[in-house]
Amino acid sequence: MSVEQLKIDAIDAAQKYKALYKETLDPDDLDMFKRLMDVYNHLDGFYTSPGLFSQTSDGPVITFADGETSIVGSGVGGLQVPANYFSVGDTFKLSVHGDFSSNNNAQLAIRLKEAAFTISETIVTLVTTVDEHFDMDVNFVVRNTGGPGVAKLLTVGFFSYSKSSNNAPEMFHFDSLDETNFDTTISTSLSVTAEWLTSGATNELYTQSLNLYKVF
């Protein structure tokens, strides 16, 4: 059975259930109706892309000399957010993949920013790597809306890669709660930056893909 047919069947069942019990919807009936509607809404999601931004070209190669630099390459969609767009519970996912090389004990800072304000920062200490892949996944959850000091944004994520010497995985988890600078009442934009905190001839990083999408 196709997803389209499942959609039709789910909404048809929900409508018939409501019509049958419209005079006597008790809590159990109402719960069943909501479950049927949830099935329809879930299936309907197959046809509406939650994607907000998709990077379609490599980001810039970032070295120690570049200082803090955006890792985002050009793409389709956007990272801009209009004023009063967020609602409590809104959840977004950022997925990043790229390549990097590093000296032993090189320190790399990854920052997630709303306009000029840093909403999350993680500093990772790397081992010697040569042309290794890295992945970073981040979830953002809007815990409250409003101006600075009222709005709250929870950020949780990880940065991972494999050692060149033995292919052993390395992973760094991070989380932060911004309840100082986050502001949902103004138009703003999301940016992701990287900065090498230690110099090194081989320290460099660039992204190959970066995707942002809404998950709730």
User: What tens digit of pLDDT does each residue of 2-32 get?
Assistant: 555 554 555 555 555 455 544 444 555 555 5
Letter for the amino acid at 4? E
Residues 88 and 127 reside in one and the same domain = yes
| C-beta of residue 186 within 8 angstroms of C-beta of residue 150 | no
Domain, as residue range, for 16: 3-47
CA dihedral of residues 200, 113, 135, 94 (deg, nearest 10): -170
Q: Give, rounded to a whole angstrom, the gap between the first and last alpha carbons of the chain.
A: 27
pLDDT tens-digit map of 113-135:
988 889 889 999 999 999 999 99
Residues 23 and 60 reside in one and the same domain = no
Residues 104 and 10 reside in one and the same domain = no
Residues 197 and 128 reside in one and the same domain = yes
Cα separation, 101 vs 20, whole angstroms: 65
Q: What percent of the chain has pLDDT over 70?
A: 77
pLDDT tens-digit map of 63-100:
999 999 999 999 999 998 899 999 999 999 999 999 99
Q: Provide the domain count of the chain.
A: 2
**Burial (0-12, 13-18, 19+ Cβ within 10 Å), 94:** buried
Residues 20 and 70 reside in one and the same domain = no
pLDDT band at residue 166 using 50, 70 and 90 as cut-offs: confident
Residues 15 and 76 reside in one and the same domain = no
Letter for the amino acid at 175? D
Domain at 168, CATH number: 2.60.120
63 strand-pairing partners? 204
From residue 59, how far is each of 54, 124, 134, 198 by CA, in Å? 12, 20, 14, 21
From residue 137, how far is each of 128, 146, 181 by CA, in Å? 22, 26, 22
